[in-house]
Each structure stands twice: as C-alpha cells, then as structure tokens.
Chain A
C-alpha cells in the first residue's frame, strides 16, 4: 500500500519564476492538504482540497494556488517566487474533512529559491 508520494524531491528556482509541485495521496484517501515548513519551524497550513475544490485556505497570498484532479492527486503552484518561499513543502492526505481524520504526510519537496 503506497503512502503519500510527492515529486520532485528537490527543486532549485530563481526569484520571479513559477513552480509546480505534485502529490499523490495514500490509497483510499480523498483529501489533500498542503503545508509549508521553513527551516527550524513547524509546518504552516497553505490550503486543503476535497472533491476538486479548495475547502480551506491558510494565510498565504494568491501567488499560491492549487488543483485537485479526479483521481484525488493534487498540485501546488507558486508564482513570482520570492526568496522567502524557500522551504520544505509537505502534502498530507486524509479521508474526508470532518476534522477528526488522521493526516498522513509525504516526504516533502524541498524548494530553494535563489
């Protein structure tokens, strides 16, 4: 049973560029949440997708956008990259959005913006 997978594992971009990160949820899960983890900090919630719609959003600018596909996989897009966007981007999957569900995390994509 495959867990949460993310691609790519590492990425280097320059300021102003755009990036797309990908996530495949754990088998049987239908909800994907994205988190940003800066070095030495806890993960910060970006947004959550369920039934191909953004259901919740954290305190992140519109430069951060996402998508969920019919197979429940998801993408995170970041436009006009800033140096401060350098972080580990984590995808978590769960079953449903009632709030009691366990969220399982992928290994993350480490983004470096130069």
Chain B
C-alpha cells in the first residue's frame, strides 16, 4: 500500500467550475501538507502549504487538512483554462521522524479546464 493515495484522473471540467482534488495517507506522522502544480514537462510549483489540521485560503485556492481522517483536499474556485495542469499532493513528517523533511508525493491528478 502506498503511503499517499491520489486519484490520477484525468479530470475534465468546464471553465468556471469548482474543482475538488483529494489525497489520503496512511502515515500518522505526517504533519506538513503541500499542494504543487506541475505543467507539462516542467518542475512542480508550490501552490499551498499547511501545517496540521484546518483550512487555508489563497485567492481561488483553498486547502483543507483533516488529520483525524488522514485526508487532504484542494479546492479551486472559478477554474480557468490556465489551471490545466497536474496537481500533486505532498507531505512530510518533520525532523522528529526518521523520514525527516523528505516529501512523499501522491501520483498526481491531471486536470483539464475547458473554455
């Protein structure tokens, strides 16, 4: 079983739709949670960073973390064609754990926003 599970999609939505992306994880030591966006043939770009449970909003993006359910989400409001990319969830346990600051990624969800 993978430590981080992410539905690979692909996910296709019309422009203006609300997009929901999700990851589940099994390692209860994870406490730092990130969402990266990766355009084709490019490196991942950090979108959102959250610590522990709760919500964080940044413009059209909202990240949610539910540590009790080991579940994280990214919501994109008013989606735009420029949001078309692969979205990767990532998490780390921190220095108290042997895995330290290494990031463990989901396999990514490919999103297409159609004009």
Decide: A99 near B93, CB < 8 A? Known: A41-B107, A55-B100.
yes
When each residue 13-57 of chain A gets 1 if its CB lies under 8 Å from chain B and 0 otherwise, what string results?
000000000000000000101010000111111001000000110
Report the count of interface residues on A (CB-CB < 8 A).
Answer: 30
When each residue 41-60 of chain B gets 1 if its CB lies under 8 Å from chain A and 0 otherwise, what string results?
11111100101000000000
Distance (whole angstroms) from the CB of A43 to the closest CB of chain B: 5
B105 x A43 contact (CB < 8 A): yes
Q: Could you tell me the distance between the alpha carbons of A106 and B41 in the complex, rounded to whole angstroms?
A: 11
Number of A-B residue pairs, CB cutoff 8 Å, is 78
A56 x B99 contact (CB < 8 A): yes
B101 x A98 contact (CB < 8 A): yes
Q: Could you tell me the distance between the alpha carbons of A48 and B96 in the complex, rounded to whole angstroms?
A: 16
A102 x B49 contact (CB < 8 A): yes
Does more than half of chain B's interface fall in helix, strand or loop, or is it mixed? loop
| B42 cross-chain contacts in A, Cβ below 8 A | 107-108
B46 x A104 contact (CB < 8 A): yes
Task: Name the residue on B nearest A47 (C-beta).
Answer: B102
A94 x B101 contact (CB < 8 A): yes
Whether B73 is near chain A, meaning CB under 8 Å from some CB there, is: no
| A106 cross-chain contacts in B, Cβ below 8 A | 43
What are 7 sample pairs from A and B whose C-beta atoms fall under 8 A apart?
A40-B8, A45-B103, A45-B104, A48-B100, A99-B96, A101-B101, A103-B101
Residues of B within 8 A of A (CB): 4, 6, 8, 32, 34, 36, 41-46, 49, 51, 88, 90, 92-97, 99-108
User: What 7 pairs across the A-B complex have the smallest Cβ distances?
Assistant: A99-B94, A42-B105, A105-B43, A99-B101, A45-B102, A99-B95, A42-B107
